[in-house]
Structure 1
Amino acid sequence: MRKKLLLLLSLGWIFNYAHRMAIPPLIPIIKTELGINNAQAGLLMTSLLLPYALIQVPAGYLGDKLGRKKLVVISILGYSLASALIIFAKEYWELLSIRALYGIFAGLYYAPATALISDIYKGRKGSALGVFMVGPPIGSGIAPLIVVPIALALEWKYAFLVLSAMSAIIGITLLLSIKGELHEVEHAKLRIPKHVIRLSIMNFISMLAFFGMLTFLPDFFVNRGRSLEEASLYFSILSIVGIAGSLVGGTIYDRLKKKSLILSLGFNAFLSFLLAKTAMPIIMPILGLFFYSVGPIVTAYTAEQATNENKGSVMGFVNMMGFFGATLGPYLLGVLIDTLGYGEAFYFIPLMYMVALIIIGTQKKRISHT
């Protein structure tokens, strides 16, 4: 039962990311069709990430209070339906509104899912969360493989109907195959310890860099003379190799704890600097190993900063701060690209990783909770 739950939760997380990351490979098409600039294109990510961020703490607390599995099922079915509504969007503002609705339902997922996995796997939480956190690289990797062929053969909006049908099946399977709640919290508390603040600020900055790069990476390569198909391939390579990065990151965290986070942020700063300077595709698979290792490491590290009673709230708070950064990242990088061009704007990414490294590196050691 434990393995089945981890599999289904991981699949739900994969499609959570596939829906949100379906936009970046389609940006060249959407910009042409709607007549929007890079900053407006960045808002297509911001519009979902802001409500996603705002609902994180309530999602964590409600998961602890009402049932984590129950809230996860509501999230999957809700974000599937919301994303399918894109087929009806005709104006730019309509697309923004639907993406915001998607962000609300998608935001109900992370905190209850990660808190549930952490409690069930306990001492092996890093390895288990490493499996769960293959969601971002796999979801981001399969997104262009699904949506670009559909966009070129039919129309880009139909791609979201396909994704919605696939993710809805996962939600229904989770509802029917896992009976009841596997872990219940007797006295849920909405309490955020002070020592979590520095971790949250670090997550804000690293996610700002992460989502800024992901949003404009295909267009970055198109700007450097690559075709849309080739740019999408590089995007997928980053994410596919990131599967190994996620698995290894979680496993290494169980051994190195906080040191694994410092190493991961350092390599991301160095490799993203090389990408901005050279735009060499060979960097993508190497970067993928470290780019996606941050997620499971931060998640496992966060879980150890909380108690059973406030774990959902703490997971939600740290993720909320991260997605405030994710909300700002695409728009800010879009503005920098419009102002400075891709060459100079992409140097912003390694700078942010270095700042995040300094913040978490100077944090005093805290007693872990299990």
Structure 2
Amino acid sequence: MNSSNDVTAGALAASQGKTWKVRYSVLLLIWLGWLFSFLDRMVMSVSLPFIGKDLNIDTTEQGLIISAFFIGYAAFQIPGGWLADKFGPRKVMSIAITWWSIFTSLTGFVLTLPFMLVIRFLFGVGEGCFPAASWKTISAYFPSKERGRATAIQSSVNTLGPALAVIVAAGIIGAFGWHTVFIALGIPGLLIAVTMYWYFRDNPKDHPAMSQQEIDELVADGANLTASQEAPTPFMKILTQPVLWQMAAIWFLFDITFWGFSSWLPSYLMKVREFSLAKTGVMAAIPFLCGTVGTLLGGYFSDKLKSQRKWLYVATSVISAGFLYMTYSVEDANSAVMFQCISSFFMFFAMAMFWGILMDHIPTKIMGRASGIVNFGGQMAGVVSPPIMGFLIQSSGGSYNSAFIFMIVALVASAAVTMTLKSDTRAQV
């Protein structure tokens, strides 16, 4: 951005002060959509022991239930991004939330493993279309100086969702059984989908509530609000961007740890640390709440220390891995939870850095397809991580030690790949 644009942006910021902007409402709705996407998927982690008992399936087969979701979720990351770039994120997000909410409720009626696998796959298809569309919307509505915080706020559901899920699921399962959890959680998503379709516009300049100052602020930041009139970037050109594959690899390795951590934490606390269901509901939530704080602080520092994002990711990932080791190696159960909390804080601080890096490296024009490719890499981790960890746990006679080592190695490897990124590299369109 040249100096005259810097002055313009500064003047706009000063004139707007702290007034509520359309982009904040957009982010709030996206946040709610993400929150229920995580609630709808993460209650499965608490429900698994009860589903396993009802359906008479072992931990490896329980891992397959989680994988069935991720197969659908991962498979539709790239198609969801393509649909968002072609038809606009407004329609894609509204239809996606409606779809997965229906299959969330249908999960509560399942009585056999094959039917469960089909339902969870189709549930994953709906959720898979949502992420790229949401990131494209954030990229379109937020100037670059705020995207780190915006994506961190959106990403806070990665931790808040599991935290609420274990509390909600534990309470409802204790009172009504696991079936009711899924049936009830499908309803709010339908309301969010309707509100999104009514309020959102694909292009900020078409939003009736956008002020001219907000539009000028985006233009001064370099946004092209007539991008829909340009020829689309060929998909093959997007695929040839090396930075895209570096980021997909980082996210794949990070998500091996994240999904292993999220999927098996409740079972670990109940089976190894011998917590009751009620205590698990509380103690499993605490590390994720710490992760929420880490995510929000990470987003703040992501915008403040943009040039140091890569190294902050590397440092916090390694620190998180160290505390994961201490989690399973300590004898005292309460100390284990404390170390989980510290590990979670640094893990999700790193996650906020990652999405700030991505927003800087990927232009809005291709954000749908590009972020879909990156998130595809991450969600493939969700396909392989839970069953591998289930196998490691089962093959070691119920010990979680090898599963923790698996997560630690993946997180350190993600830091190693991050070190290969060049700060000034940006995808070319």
Q: How does 1:197-276 map to 2 (within 5 A)?
A: 197-224=245-272, 225-254=274-303, 255=305, 256-276=308-328
Q: Which residue of 2 aligns with 1:292?
A: 348
Contact 2:287 2:337 in 1 (8 A): no
Q: Which residue of 1 aligns with 2:222?
A: none
Distance 2:167 2:58 in 1: 25
Distance 2:71 2:45 in 1: 17
**Which letter maps to 2:242?**
K
Structure 1 residue 43: Cα displacement: 1.3
Q: Secondary structure at the match of 1:188?
A: coil
Q: Confirm whether residue 78 of structure 1 aligns to residue 105 of structure 2.
A: no
* TM-score, length-scaled by structure 2: 0.82
Distance 2:263 2:325 in 1: 17
**Which letter maps to 2:250?**
M
Match for residue 165 of structure 1 among 182, 187, 190: 187
Of 245-254 and 358-367, the range deviating more from structure 2: 358-367
Structure 1 residue 181: Cα displacement: 4.2
Distance 1:15 1:34 in 2: 26
The structure whose Rg is larger is 2
Contact 1:252 1:260 in 2 (8 A): no
Of 337-346 and 310-319, the range deviating more from structure 2: 337-346
Structure 1 residue 67: Cα displacement: 0.7
* TM-score, length-scaled by structure 1: 0.95
Q: Which residue of 2 aligns with 1:149?
A: 171
Match for residue 337 of structure 2 among 259, 267, 281: 281
Structure 1 residue 305: Cα displacement: 2.1
Distance 2:25 2:426 in 1: 28
**RMSD of the TM alignment (CA)?**
1.8
Structure 1 residue 291: Cα displacement: 2.8
Q: Which residue of 2 aligns with 1:302?
A: 358
Q: Confirm whether residue 187 of structure 1 aligns to residue 231 of structure 2.
A: yes
Contact 2:139 2:367 in 1 (8 A): no
Q: Which residue of 1 aligns with 2:412?
A: 354
Structure 1 residue 88: Cα displacement: 2.2
In structure 2, stretches of 5+ residues that fail to align are 1-21, 205-224
Q: Secondary structure at the match of 1:293?
A: helix
Distance 1:294 1:364 in 2: 17
Of 350-359 and 7-16, the range deviating more from structure 2: 350-359
* Percent identity between the two aligned chains: 23
Q: Secondary structure at the match of 2:43?
A: coil
Q: Which residue of 1 aligns with 2:368?
A: 312
Q: Which residue of 1 aligns with 2:402?
A: 344
In structure 1, stretches of 5+ residues that fail to align are none
Distance 1:164 1:181 in 2: 29
Distance 1:198 1:175 in 2: 34
Contact 1:198 1:363 in 2 (8 A): yes
Contact 1:187 1:309 in 2 (8 A): no
Structure 1 residue 261: Cα displacement: 1.6
Distance 1:118 1:300 in 2: 11
Structure 1 residue 179: Cα displacement: 5.0
Structure 1 residue 356: Cα displacement: 1.4
